Amino acid sequence: MKFIRNILKNPRSKKDGFFFTELEKILGFKPKQKAYYRRAFTHRSMNKKNEDGMPINYERLEFLGDAMLSAIIATYLFSKSPHGDEGYLTKMRSKIVSRSYLNMLGQELKLVNLVQSKIPNNNFGANIYGNLFEALIGAIYLDRGYLYCEKFVFKTLIKPYVNIETLEGKITSYKSLLIEWCQKEKKALHFNTYEDTGNDSIKHFSVKLVVDNNVISKGRDTSKKRAEEKASKRAFFALQKEITSST
């Protein structure tokens, strides 16, 4: 009874209970070494350090998870696409592990709800979702090994979302596609990018995409890269007939 009363009095215990209950729903199994998972959801804003003064946050696990995810997807493609050459397999892997895919997965799994951070959740950039997904894979690998990692990736990514035929026609970079098309058609392409904070608490960038001195589209996001990609996607659909007729 005393043990139970201590748990009820200790808010950290309640948080731990919520954290691992929700985590087990996502994983489908019970963690053995819980510290890995705590680290996988610790943001650098917490400024935590270990006894050696090294930072404790998810960034190193993110690096490990990225490598494990790449290996699992590479193995899957090697098996499912026996006629694909190195270039094809590399291209297909990049489509599957694209930042937009991983962000979507992390968002669907509601991983940000488990983050320990001093930053409000609505102030995170879009990439937090994919970063946490990779960090979680890194934690699974250290806790349970490759096979558990593989099962988790198949359950959350490959089985529900990966279709080889669909991915073959998927455009991964509208910006690259437009650059190639403009070079082929000898058209001048420019991205006029500038900071556009406006009333937002986070810095934004706005982009005007210009082809042969004509503004074709605009984009706005929290990074130059995403703003340019957003403007490129809009430009692609605006110029789709011309682009597809020349390919």
- The Cα 86–Cα 6 span in angstroms is 58
Mean pLDDT check: name the lowest of 91-95, 124-128, 171-175, 215-219. 171-175
**pTM summary value:** 0.69
Whether the CA torsion 20, 23, 28, 34 is positive or negative: it is negative
Identify residue 202 by its one-letter amino acid code.
Answer: I
Per-residue confidence (pLDDT) for residue 165, from 0 to 100: 78
List the structure tokens of 63: 């690096």
Per-residue confidence (pLDDT) for residue 200, from 0 to 100: 66
Mean pLDDT check: name the lowest of 15-24, 184-193, 195-204. 195-204
Per-residue confidence (pLDDT) for residue 10, from 0 to 100: 47
pLDDT at 11 over 50: no
Per-residue confidence (pLDDT) for residue 232, from 0 to 100: 92
pLDDT at 204 over 90: no
The answer to whether 189 and 213 are in contact (CB under 8 A) is no
pLDDT at 76 over 90: yes
pLDDT at 16 over 80: no
Domains of the chain, first to last = 9-165 (1.10.1520.10), 174-246 (3.30.160.20)
Tell me the pLDDT band of 13, cut-offs 50, 70 and 90: low
Per-residue confidence (pLDDT) for residue 2, from 0 to 100: 47
Q: Which of 134, 143, 150, 228 is catalytic?
A: 134
CA of residue 6 relative to chain centroid, distance:
39
Q: Which residue in the block uniquely carries the two structure tokens 């320990």?
A: 116
CB atoms within 10 A of CB 29: 13
pLDDT tens for residues 39-64? 999 999 999 998 899 999 999 999 99
Q: Which of 16, 51, 59, 66 is catalytic?
A: 66
66 is catalytic: yes
pLDDT tens for residues 145-156? 999 999 999 999
Q: Which strands form 189-195's sheet, in the order they lie side by side?
A: 189-195, 205-211, 214-221
195 is catalytic: no
Task: Kindly calculate the radius of gyration of the chain based on its CA atoms and give it in whole angstroms.
Answer: 22
